[in-house]
Chain A
Amino acid sequence: MNDILFPLAVFFAAVFTNNILLTNYLGMCSFLSVSKELETSAGLGIAVTFVMATTTAINWVVYHFLLVPFQLEYLRFIVFIIIIAAFVQLIEMVIERYSEGLYFALGIFLPLITVNCAILGASLFMVIREYSFMTSFFFGFGSGLGWLIAILAMAGIRQRLRTAKIPLGLDGPGISLIIAGFMAMAFMGFNGMITIS
């Protein structure tokens, strides 16, 4: 596939066929605990999308221009997690300074993001799959968007379920996991639409 189309294919694959949450189980902790309300889910999802797209791009640059030349690839876990943590802290300070509304909308989610496995996962996948810079950026962006779609759908379903009668043992995480299972099945319907190696 050519250089322009491949990043776009990866982007759509990351949103639909290879959804990072529903096929790789990444970012489950915050997915299960935050998806009670539609609005907070949207806030967290947008923050995740933004951070994932930018940190994947930054990590690509650092990995290929700093770690590979000095043969320090094995340090990537530490370096990636520090970059993510530092970047999240930076974003928090910037939006606190310039936009109070945005800070109150997104600010509380930012600390949660550092420990979201999906963010680190996207960076690690990018290294293993040997993506180019553009592809990595689109992959990070698409994965974040896929995560946003999944958590929004989940929050919508859970709001409807609030009045339903659920067996005592299944109430809470159990039912959420079953919903996630059905959503994963629904997303499997996209399989074959795009195939990337």
Chain B
Amino acid sequence: MAAGMIKKTFLAPLGKDNPVFVQILGICSTLAVTNKLENTMVMTLGVMFTTALSSWTLSVMRKWIPSRIRMMVETMIIATYVIIVDIALKAFYPEMWKQLGPYVGLIITNCIVMGRIEAFALQNKPMLSLVDGLASGMGYAYVLLVIAFFRELLGTGTLWGYQILGSWWTNWSIMIMPPGGFFMLAIFIWIVREAVFKEGSK
């Protein structure tokens, strides 16, 4: 397999095929934890782990899965990895596990995981699927990390729990409340799409 193919597979989800901007997929389960950078980091790492490994597993098994029941098999594979994430988090990082609450379990219904399996892993070799899953997870992660960065900074004046902005800063408490998440994502999508359209019209 050519190294160029792997590079192309790796770079596409980070740029022009980004799952969040282009398809608005999978924001459900993670947008809720973007009011803190630390929570978002843990959550997106969980998503990356699940996407990468379930794509790989499915790709290994793809020739033996009857297509009629493939949805069920896919869900099982995804749920297995999510349970691993959940148990690991509960064992090593119990406070974070408590804060994230039901959202770790909701990675199962995150459309990105299922979407990459259906669109990519079913037709491609295991290694390539692993790269694709990992890159999709990363493309997703950086968008949410940028959102979390601004939400935490503007909402509480802190980053990763440390005070960054001085006492002159008035907290925009709307940013850490639910509407802030919607507005930040909308603004982010707006800026990116505007840039893409400008490039396209040249």
Contact = CB atoms under 8 A, between A and B. Distances in A.
Interchain residue pairs A-B with the least CB separation, the first 9: A181-B182, A169-B194, A124-B102, A177-B186, A169-B193, A117-B109, A184-B179, A117-B28, A25-B31
A55 to B, nearest CB: 13
Contacts, number: 128
Contacts of B87: 74
A181 B193 contact: no
Given A117-B110, A128-B102, A168-B193, A78 B76 contact: yes
Interface residues of B, number: 46
A29 B111 contact: yes
Best-surrounded residue of A78, A116, A182 (most CB of chain B within 10 A): A78
A151 interface: no
A22 interface: yes
A188 B179 contact: yes
A145 B46 CA distance: 31
A27 interface: yes
Interface string A13-53: 00000000011111111001100000000000000000000
B25 interface: yes
A84 to B, nearest CB: 9
Given A116-B109, A117-B106, A120-B106, A170 B190 contact: yes
A74 B86 contact: yes
Interface string B159-202: 00000000000000010011111110110011111111100000
7 contacts: A22-B178, A77-B108, A81-B75, A120-B108, A170-B190, A181-B181, A184-B179
Interface of B: 24-29, 31-32, 71-72, 75-76, 79-80, 82-83, 86-87, 101-102, 105-106, 108-111, 114, 174, 177-183, 185-186, 189-197
B114 A29 contact: no
A104 interface: no
A178 interface: yes
A24 B189 contact: no
